[in-house]
Amino acid sequence: MCRLCDPRRPKLPCPTRRDFLKASTVGGAALVAGATLGTAASAQSAAESTIPEGMGEAGHRTLIRGGVVLSMDEGVGNFATGDVLIEGGNIVEVAARIDAPDATVIDAAGKIVMPGFIDTHHHQFETALRSQLAHGILINDGREVNATNYYETILQKFSMAYRPEDVYINELFAGIAQLDAGVTTVMDVSQIHHSPEHSDAAIEGLADAGRRAVFGYFEGHGDRTQYPQDARRIKEQYFASDDQLLTMVMGGEIYLPGYETAWSIGRELGIPIALHVVGTFGMAGTFDQLAEAGEFGEDNIFIHMTGMSDMAWQRAADAGAHVSLAVPIEMHMRHGTPPIQKALDLGMSTSLSSDVECTMTADPFTQMRGLITLQRMFVNEAALSGATDYPALMQCADALRHATIEGAKGLKLDAVTGSLTPGKAADIVLLDAEALNVAPLNSAAGAVVTLMERSNVDTVLVAGRPRKWQGQMVGFDIARLRDELTASRDYLFETAGVERDLFAL
């Protein structure tokens, strides 16, 4: 039975994976076409017809010309008017003017050209549950009765209903949606590994989205789960090579019994170890013990880091660990105050993440604005209260750095992506700076962080290949995928025994 079939519900004819990718030839290049989310199919077809032949293929040279270049690389610099030359899937030159008569030219006038955004923590398997937990908090912590808290509702109820085919469509749709928002790299925190088939489906969905992704092998539940031992099989089968769009991270949640085994396997396999660290979840004591035992390393990605002791923070900083913040979620769901300033004061590499779409959007603009406004709120309050010693106000360029190169560092991908640096992959976004919500352009970083949103994402390249082009997603039958995601949603609600009420408080 295919991933998206269910014998209990009649639906569209039984699809194979390739049915989602409808082949067409545009200008001699094999591309894929379909309807576009929220736009007419004709608009997508018109955009696809203008895609230069061979983009992203070996030997093909593409010149992005005349854009405002934000390189996120101090050695490269920024350019009020600049060019980026791509050969195959890699950047070969960034400069004010590049002569490349043999290159296909993309006119970037009126666009901001910058590296794609990086999301270092996204539970993509929950896409069909978007906004279901809009008012929920993390756990029922005894301070109030909250029947729709995340731990009980999502992890203990909904997640147990997932079949492999649900995992696949949720993962795929999430990847496409974030590409639409300019996110070219993600760490997928898939706490859905109830069987090896669930794990395979998650990886397949990540791969079919066509963007750079880090597969986070976190826990599963039930009699057929093979976590964490199956990490060895997964690594050998899917991640034997580092020269690919997909890499792997080991989930090592310290609130689970036997987490030590997961950490050991992760280090045996030589992959980063990621985990949620939340004081309200009762983790502070175990985290302190690990800190005192010297277990932290530069291979650790600590998500949230709320409620931890100063000692543990210092040990994490000394070890070179990375911090992934999901600022809007942390404020909204009672994780604790986002420790932005703590991470900055300790000089820790810090990135941004969307976390869970059951509660908050997964676009990078929301993450950047959450980060900068909260940090500045605390600093401004200190200044207004008469303090004489307080941190510097965060600048928009800092927020951009946390949304790009710092995320790449945390995922151990900074040699590959995160900046417009010659030799790195051409993971590039073109943002419309002439749109109604931005024009006239007066500050490049300021416009991206304080004014822009998803509609400003004009073009997205991953390893030089177009995934969004002239404002249109290309390569996917979005209407069909949306139907399948909706069918998955209906199945999950029914199986979990949850009534879907559009007007529930």
Backbone angles phi, psi at 309, to 5 degrees: -70, 160
pTM (2 d.p.):
0.92
pLDDT of residue 505: 66
* Dihedral angle of Cα 342, 347, 348, 353, to the nearest 10 degrees: 70
> Beta-strand (E) ranges in 159-272?
183-190, 212-217, 246-251
Between CA 505 and CA 496 the distance in angstroms is 19
Neighbours of 99 (CB within 10 A): 9
| CATH 2.30.40.10 given to domain 52-114+418-474 | yes
pLDDT of residue 145: 66
pLDDT of residue 147: 66
pLDDT means over runs of 10, the chain (505 residues): 39 40 31 39 79 93 98 98 98 98 97 98 98 93 78 94 98 98 98 98 98 97 96 97 94 95 98 95 93 98 97 98 98 96 98 98 98 98 96 98 98 98 98 98 98 98 97 94 98 96 84
Between CA 48 and CA 158 the distance in angstroms is 38
Domain boundaries, the chain: 52-114+418-474, 117-410
Q: Tally the C-alpha atoms within 13 A of residue 37's C-alpha that lie toward its C-beta.
A: 21
Backbone angles phi, psi at 32, to 5 degrees: -130, 145
pLDDT of residue 419: 98
Q: What is the largest CA-CA distance in the chain?
A: 68
CA pseudo-torsion sign 464, 470, 473, 477: negative
* CB-neighbour burial class of residue 67 (10 A; exposed 0-12, middle 13-18, buried 19+): buried
Between CA 191 and CA 261 the distance in angstroms is 17
Q: What superfamily would CATH give domain 117-410?
A: Metal-dependent hydrolases (3.20.20.140)
pLDDT of residue 22: 36
Residues 6+ apart with CB under 8 A from 10: none
pLDDT of residue 504: 79
Residues 6+ apart with CB under 8 A from 305: 277, 313, 316, 323, 325, 339, 342, 343
Distance of CA 396 to the CA centre of its chain: 20
Site of tokens 């976190």? 218
